[in-house]
Amino acid sequence: MNLTQEDWASNLEADTNAVILDVRTEDEFNDGIIPNAVNIDIHQGQFFISEIEALDKNKNYYVYCRSGVRSAKACEVMNELGIENAFNLTGGILAWNGEIVSP
């Protein structure tokens, strides 16, 4: 599900069952992240699928990338693999107004 920056941030803040998932490359991840994000690079093919399959399907995943395209695809894949609550950050980290920290 695509969420605006505002909805993504407010839902995340109120969600006690949330996991922040960054699906960018390791280099992009190292340039700065939304606090507490976990990195699983969507470009890693089968490794990405394996990592997603290993996630707790009862959690709510707040997913982002650079601009929102890869994270939208990641949410689709997550839904196909049985994770119902995957929320894409529309506009990605480029449009993020919140805090960005070093990993």
Q: What is the pLDDT of residue 18?
A: 98
Q: What is the pLDDT of residue 63?
A: 98
| C-alpha distance from residue 86 to each of 25, 79, 91 (Å) | 19, 7, 16
Q: What is the pLDDT of residue 61?
A: 98
Catalytic annotation, residues? 65
Q: What structural domains does the chain harbor?
A: 2-95 (3.40.250.10)
Q: What is the pLDDT of residue 34?
A: 98
Residues of the chain below pLDDT 70: none
3-state secondary structure at position 34: coil
